[in-house]
Structure 1
Amino acid sequence: MRDEKQINEKLDKLQVLSFVLEDESFGTEISCIQEVLEYRKVTAVPRTPDYMLGVINLRGQVVPVVDLRQVFAMNVIEPTVDSCIIIVKIPIEGEETSLGILADKVKEVVEFNVVEIKPPPRIGNKVDSQFISGMVQYNDEFIILLRLTRVFSNEQLHDVFDPAESLTKADDEAADSDA
């Protein structure tokens, strides 16, 4: 009976990595985090979406890096000494794929009860509410919990991971509009 209670308490808890973008706290479930890296030079890739900064080499793996500030239409800034790249695992066509997201700084891992999650307000958010799974108050601030799978739709991710094909598609669409 006691073991069952402990298991239920663990199921009711959520661990989130909190990070900052433009002085606002965001978070994502720790289960989708692969690792956090100090900011490093990102190699630009021509003809990719504006929000894609480029790629990094992570132990022989090419990992795209995305600027969430651009995705959320925030002011873009130069990386600072606090900037980090959070490597997350995103499902693409049924396969987990690594993707880097640039954060102004990473704060901490926080744990809270699932019942503490509140729905996002319908208005007043800088971030589209479809990207938000909820908000939780932690200390004196709110942490906006992101749904990374919605932030990066399959089409957006396809453009990031296969820019040559998205370029061909864009060229085809331009040719169609010229006709």
Structure 2
Amino acid sequence: MAEELKVIVFSLGEEEYGVEVDKVQTIERMSPLTRVPKTPDFIKGVINLRGVVVPVIDLRGRFNLPETDHTESTRIIIVAVNDIQVGMIVDAANDVIDVDTDHIEDPPEVVGGIKAKYLRGVAKIGDGRLLIMLNLSEVLNKQEIIQLEKIEE
């Protein structure tokens, strides 16, 4: 029996990505970040989100995609992974849709330059659209999460 997944759709360049709604806490407009020294380049800094310090990563940088200037539609998607909150900078957060789990296929080795380990799969959506489903626990791998937790202390 196929399950329906509620998914937030966001974009990086021309590609559309999805992350499960239950992992997303909030979607924020771009706000000034406080840079943290000695962190990987893709970790852009931290924001104060209603009294909580949240580390923010640039998904473009994480996936080795060319960085672009932030626009009016740039968003920070706040997700919870392994008990920590992390913000992900995306070009735009577009939609919330239902995805049939039967329509999610294993990812190829590389999609748009992104290694398969970061991907849960590729979902085919009705009108021929492909949605790249992220594997958040790999996007924020354990060693980096440990580094991020040190930032928060």
Q: What range describes the TM-score normalised by the shorter chain of this pair?
A: over 0.9
- Contact kept? 1:45, 1:54, Cα under 8 Å: yes
- Gaps of at least 5 residues in structure 1 are 1-7, 166-179
- Gaps of at least 5 residues in structure 2 are none
Identity of aligned residues (%): 30
Tell me how far 1:163 sits from its aligned partner.
4.7
Kindly report the root-mean-square deviation, in angstroms, between the aligned alpha carbons of the 2 structures: 1.8
| 1:81 partner amino acid | E
Work out whether 1:156 is the aligned partner of 2:147: no
Does the C-alpha gap of structure 1 residues 124 and 68 become closer, same or farther in structure 2, counting only changes over 3 Å? closer
- Give the TM-score normalised by structure 2: 0.92
Tell me how far 1:22 sits from its aligned partner.
1.9
Tell me how far 1:160 sits from its aligned partner.
2.3
Q: Deviations over 1:81-103 (max 9, x none)?
A: 10000000010xxxx11110000
Select which of 116, 119, 125 maps to 2:103: 116
SS at match of 2:60: helix
Work out whether 1:62 is the aligned partner of 2:53: yes
| 2:128 partner amino acid | D
| 1:24 partner amino acid | E
For the pair shown, the structure with the greater C-alpha radius of gyration is: 1
- For residues 53 and 60 of structure 1, what CA distance do their matches in structure 2 show? 19
Tell me the residue number matched to 1:145: 133
- Give the TM-score normalised by structure 1: 0.79
How many residues were matched structurally? 152
- For residues 134 and 124 of structure 1, what CA distance do their matches in structure 2 show? 10
Tell me the residue number matched to 2:23: 32
| Pairing of 1:11-160 with structure 2 (within 5 A) | 12-91=3-82, 96-123=83-110, 125-138=112-125, 139-160=127-148
Tell me how far 1:122 sits from its aligned partner.
2.9
Higher RCO, Cα 8 Å, sep 6+: 2
Does the C-alpha gap of structure 1 residues 124 and 134 become closer, same or farther in structure 2, counting only changes over 3 Å? closer
Structure with the bigger percentage of helix: 1
